[in-house]
Amino acid sequence: MSRQDPDVIDSVEKAFRVLEAFSAEHPTLTVSEAADLTGLSRATARRILLTCVKLGFAELDDRRFRLLPRVLRLGYGYLASLPIWERAQPHMRRLAEEVRESCSAATLDGDEIVYVARVPAKRSMSIVLNVGSRLPAHPTSMGRVLLAGLPPERLGDYLGSLRLERLTAHTITDPAAFAAELDRVREQGYALVDGEREEGVRSAAAPVRDRSGAVIAAINVSANAGRVSVEDLRERCVPLVVQAADAISRDIDFVPSA
């Protein structure tokens, strides 16, 4: 039990910290690396990693640990608990076919967005994303839709701790300008981003709402800047994205409550 919170089990919290230390930048970890990344002692990190090996969540090869497919059960449990995405897929496929670009859906997790559904374009793009991929929220169209949909108190906390990292020459890094952009997104009902996370990639997103009207996800279309102009994205794609998001939102009303 946690000394700070009797309802929290310290060992479980530490185990998840170790699992979250694995990433694209750190696909394998030694005990020392896991300890450094998590702030845990080497002994604690070692026991947790060996426990993961015993349970089939990781394997050990020449002092380096790597995750195994069994960890996907954790993420799948979340996706399986959201039947709305089964209903969203037809709308997303239709949208991708209409605009001939990729269509994605994401939810907010802290200061990142997590992809929960994706329909890739038939043509290739420079950016490869899949279900489970994470991106920073502030320079992405879906992130801005999700942030604009936060309750005022949560958004205030977010903006108060926000670090607007410059990823390209176009990334908004001024806090006041970013807050104004979120106001604009909230008012117009969609977000349009041009090369703020990656040069040459444009996207437009709209909110998906539950039956109470709360924003629970976002969908977007993304395109190569050499193929789709900002004007085309705004005039041709945005209405279709908003229409698809509204259709998904309406379908959620018919998903039985647990």
Kindly indicate the confidence band of residue 109, based on its pLDDT and cuts at 50, 70 and 90: confident
Query: Looking at the predicted structure, is the pLDDT value of residue 181 above 90?
Result: yes
CA 32 to chain centre: 29
> How far lies 115's CA from each of 64, 85, 162, 211, in Å?
28, 11, 21, 22
Tell me the average pLDDT of the chain.
87
pLDDT at 86: 73
- CA dist 258 and 247 (Å) reads 22
Query: Looking at the predicted structure, is the pLDDT value of residue 179 above 60?
Result: yes
Domains and CATH numbers, the chain: 10-71 (1.10.10.10), 82-252 (3.30.450.40)
For range 188-204, the mean pLDDT: 94
- CA dist 183 and 171 (Å) reads 17
Entry pTM: 0.73
For range 51-68, the mean pLDDT: 92
- CA dist 119 and 222 (Å) reads 11
- CA dist 87 and 90 (Å) reads 7
Query: Are residues 12 and 5 in contact, defined by beta-carbon separation less than 8 angstroms?
Result: no
> How far lies 234's CA from each of 38, 167, 181, in Å?
43, 23, 16
Q: What is the pLDDT of residues 236-247, one digit of tens each?
A: 999 999 999 999
